[in-house]
Amino acid sequence: MYPSERLSYILSDASPSILLADSVGLEALGEAAQASLIIIDPSLHNEMTAHNPCVSSLRPHHLAYIIYTSGSTGKPKGVMTEHAHVSRLFDTATDCCQASEHDVWSMSHSFSFDFSVWEMWGALGFGGKLVLVPYQTSRSPQDFYNLACQQRITILNLTPSAFKLFAECQQYSSTHSSPRYVVLAGEALPTAILQPWYATHSDSSPQIVNMYGPTECTIYSTYHHMKKEDCTQVVGTIGRHISDAKTYVLDANGRPVPIGAPGELHISGGGVTRGYLNRPELTAEKFIPDPFSKTEGSRMYKTGDLVRYLSNSNIMYLGRDDDQVKIRGFRIELGEIEACLAEHPAVSEAIVVALSEEAEKSLVAYVTASPDEQLPRKLRSHLASRLPEYMIPSAFVRLDSFPLTANGKLDRHALPAPDEDAIARQIYEAPQGEMEMAIMNIWVELLGVERIGRHDGFFILGGHSLLAVKMINRIRTILGFEMSLRTLFEAPTIAELATRLLEGGNTQNDSYEVLLPIRPHGTRPPLFCVHPGFGLSWCYIGLSAQLHKDQPIYGLQARGFFGNGQLPTSLDEMALDYLDQIRSIQPHGPYHLLGYSLGGSIAHTMAAHLEQQGERVALLAVMDTSANYYKLPPRPIEEDKEEQHNQEFLRFLAGVSQGDVPEMAKSFWEYAPIVNRNLGCLIKPEIPPLFSGDIFIFHATLPDKGSDQVLSTADWKQYVLGNIEVYDIHCTHNDMEKPEHIAEIGRVLAPKLDGLYNCEE
């Protein structure tokens, strides 16, 4: 039974003329709410006519029902569904399961939950038998299991949470149920609950179907026939769209994202409903024109669900777009923490919530697991090896099972508050000593984070190249210590950096070495990033916060800074030099290469050489690089503009005023003109090498100032024999190295590198 306040709101919003209600429902509503309604009491049905009313004017586009779903404002919103939306669903039902008149269906969900429409009309539409499960039976897993066995239910419809309890009952029962299909829907499917099931069942007997779809798209829009091998994923794939639906994975600007990259799921097709009753603004916001459809007036629904396409075209559910919380100034995806918890062998299911205590929020993890006094410590240690400190919950609560709502979904409001035993100790450690406190104050100012612990990392907190150089300048000005970017790479936390500075740090020259260790630690094959035309790789620093913690990152920088070697005479010579550098770190492939602008051409040349030498290049990615760089005439910088050119570069890189630049890198002026002039002269007309692998191109969509053109990606077809994948970045060529665009590039590269690593293992 819903609260009286919610029932009254729904009644007021929907404004029906006839109300079907029993005595309990009428009592909950109160007499005032019933004044203008025709009341039909089902207990009096024997006194009613035996003939159905004839409604000759009823058409498919007429409203069939309104189902209310939770709203972010606290008020439920009514989704208007037409008869045609429902009838076409069962025309496509054979995509999901081959039902017939011989099947027995269970109906265990409230009719206020749209899954009940599938249960009810699925059975009646196919001519099968419908078993109405009494409410008390649906609340008792053992009673429900017994009923399924007695009635020989062949199509079982459950939420994943309810199925977990059903499977446990079967595990300890001498009587076995015999469903042909187990249809799971209503919430994300954690595959851990299927592992015990598949230990005693085959993939197809029964067939488990993971069904996905918001109420706004009429019950379900995608489905996947689960298999035992799917349990290697933390969350079950939601599969592919049904035959009369279309699915799009789009970024924040409404553009399709590449395979593997996360985006918001949009759904179009015959199931997209009218919208929300009495909510025109919200309807216009969530139900938008479909720009990919040729049908006039076609709309698509913005689900708010984060997903990504797998290489086999299936869709992987990642979590809600609004499952983000802000703690200590950081935006956190709760689903990412839940996925990491689910990887622990002791955990069956995991839920993470943000609890507010006074003015501060904290994360609390709830897990289903066997009793273990050391569980909070074990789980915290498990997460600490995979996530930054600020994403680690402050408490871990163990439960035998999660509480469920009347619809069989997880009831977050019924989760118990954590007690003292659930608290994970040593979550936050304040900076110690004057040096750590001084560094913390500088970081708070630059990063805009409210509270920083001594073990928090600069780049994990959102630091990038501009902020790193600013921070070095602040350290010099306020504390009087010299340090380099390399110092920060090797000592990225407050505690480590304070110790390094007191021990002497590194010289400024270390920031200009040919091989720049942006993140030298990790067991995965490194990502090597080739410098753009300025010769430095500092712009890649922001990738650290986006890529896996175990992913090493190195920059390759031009020779000539601070006399670090003889200047190259060609791009080919430079590429061979850089290959020697990367082999000192990684003697053999698979290699991962990234290059921006001129660096993309160098990376392409390196890839071709590696291929000729029998090595494998698993990833070649370029950032707004023209394949015709080699055909451009030499472009040496005019000497009278050289100083202005370098000043603008350093001010952009550091984000500091002109007066601060000489203090930041006085000796830079001696070498920068030489390096830049040489790089400009290296661009000589010649034929690019041929690479037989794939290339991934980040393409700037806006022309630079003073130009009306963007770089073309079409010419790469002449020099790359493999697949060419293009991802648009909404910026100019010169702005691509800005932190926000580097972060976007990192978010796209992360799943690609993860996928390559998993395949290589």
Q: Do the domain assignments include residue 66?
A: no
Same domain membership, residue 386 and residue 243:
no
Instruction: Find the helix or strand (DSSP H, E) in which 685 lies.
Output: none
Q: What would the pLDDT profile of 31-46 be if each residue is shown by its tens digit?
A: 656 655 666 666 655 6
Q: Do the domain assignments include residue 189?
A: yes
Q: What would the pLDDT profile of 668-677 be if each residue is shown by its tens digit?
A: 656 777 777 7
Reading the block at residue 577, the tokens are 């030099």
Same domain membership, residue 443 and residue 409:
no
Q: In this predicted structure, what is the pLDDT of residue 44?
A: 59
Q: Compute how many other C-beta atoms are within 10 angstroms of the C-beta atom of residue 437.
A: 14
Q: Do the domain assignments include residue 645?
A: no
Q: Give the whole-number percent of the chain exceeding pLDDT 70.
A: 81
Collect all residues with Cβ–Cβ distance below 8 Å to 92 and sequence separation of at least 6.
242, 243, 244
- Whichever domain contains 604, its CATH number is 3.40.50.1820
Q: Do the domain assignments include residue 286?
A: yes
Q: Compute how many other C-beta atoms are within 10 angstroms of the C-beta atom of residue 110.
A: 15
What's the chain's length in residues? 761
Q: In this predicted structure, what is the pLDDT of residue 712?
A: 81
Q: Is a pLDDT exceeding 80 seen at residue 657?
A: no
Collect all residues with Cβ–Cβ distance below 8 Å to 545 and sequence separation of at least 6.
459, 460, 461, 462, 463, 464, 743, 746
Same domain membership, residue 604 and residue 521:
yes
Same domain membership, residue 525 and residue 458:
no
Same domain membership, residue 443 and residue 550:
no
Could you tell me the residue range of the domain that residue 110 belongs to?
Answer: 76-317
Same domain membership, residue 80 and residue 223:
yes
Same domain membership, residue 414 and residue 482:
no
Place of tokens 């015709």: 628
Among 245-249, 387-391, 420-424, top mean pLDDT goes to 245-249
pTM score: 0.55
Place of tokens 């019950």: 219
Q: Is a pLDDT exceeding 90 seen at residue 150?
A: yes
Same domain membership, residue 718 and residue 605:
yes
- Whichever domain contains 209, its CATH number is 3.40.50.12780
Q: Do the domain assignments include residue 176?
A: yes
Q: Give the whole-number percent of the chain exceeding pLDDT 90.
A: 29
Q: What would the pLDDT profile of 447-469 be if each residue is shown by its tens digit?
A: 877 778 888 888 767 677 667 87
DSSP per-residue string spanning 179-205: -SEEEE-SS--BGGGGHHHHTTS-SBT
Reading the block at residue 563, the tokens are 């006399």
Q: If phi over 0 gives left and psi between -120 and 50 gives alpha, with beta otherwise, what is residue 269?
A: left
Q: Compute how many other C-beta atoms are within 10 angstroms of the C-beta atom of residue 72.
A: 9
Q: What would the pLDDT profile of 67-103 be if each residue is shown by its tens digit?
A: 988 665 557 789 999 999 998 888 888 888 899 999 9
From residue 115, give the alpha-carbon distance in Å to each of 107, 123, 162, 456, 655.
Answer: 9, 13, 14, 45, 55
Number of domains in the chain: 5
Q: What would the pLDDT profile of 575-593 be if each residue is shown by its tens digit?
A: 999 999 999 999 998 999 9
d(CA 611, CA 605): 10
Instruction: State which of 506, 540, 575 marks the end of a domain.
Output: 506
Determine the straight-line distance between the first and last CA of the chain, rounded to whole angstroms. 52
d(CA 695, CA 727): 11
Collect all residues with Cβ–Cβ distance below 8 Å to 439 and sequence separation of at least 6.
431, 475, 479, 494, 497, 498
Burial of residue 336, with CB atoms counted within 10 A of its CB: 0-12 exposed, 13-18 middle, 19 or more buried: middle
Same domain membership, residue 296 and residue 233:
yes
Give the closest residue to 116 by CA, choosing from 220, 224, 221. 220
What is the chain's Cα-based Rg?
30
Using pLDDT thresholds of 50, 70 and 90, give the confidence band for residue 659. very low
Reading the block at residue 235, the tokens are 């969350």
Same domain membership, residue 306 and residue 176:
yes
Q: Which stretch of 27-31, 46-50, 105-109 has the lowest confidence by average pLDDT? A: 46-50
Same domain membership, residue 436 and residue 416:
no
Q: In this predicted structure, what is the pLDDT of residue 654?
A: 44
Collect all residues with Cβ–Cβ distance below 8 Å to 435 and sequence separation of at least 6.
479, 498, 501, 502
Q: What would the pLDDT profile of 306-357 be if each residue is shown by its tens digit?
A: 888 988 889 998 877 766 676 654 557 787 788 888 888 899 888 898 876 5
Same domain membership, residue 151 and residue 15:
no
Q: Do the domain assignments include residue 294?
A: yes
Q: Which stretch of 86-100, 176-190, 284-298, 425-439 has the lowest confidence by average pLDDT? A: 425-439
The HSE-up count of residue 439 (CA atoms within 13 Å, CB side) is 30
Q: In this predicted structure, what is the pLDDT of residue 331?
A: 58
Instruction: Find the helix or strand (DSSP H, E) in which 142 lies.
Output: helix 141-151
Instruction: State which of 267, 285, 317 marks the end of a domain.
Output: 317
Instruction: State which of 291, 317, 343 marks the end of a domain.
Output: 317
- Whichever domain contains 452, its CATH number is 1.10.1200.10
d(CA 371, CA 346): 10
Q: Is a pLDDT exceeding 90 seen at residue 526?
A: yes
- Whichever domain contains 404, its CATH number is 3.30.300.30
Q: Do the domain assignments include residue 56?
A: no
- Per DSSP (E only), the strands in 375-447 are 395-399
Q: Do the domain assignments include residue 678?
A: no
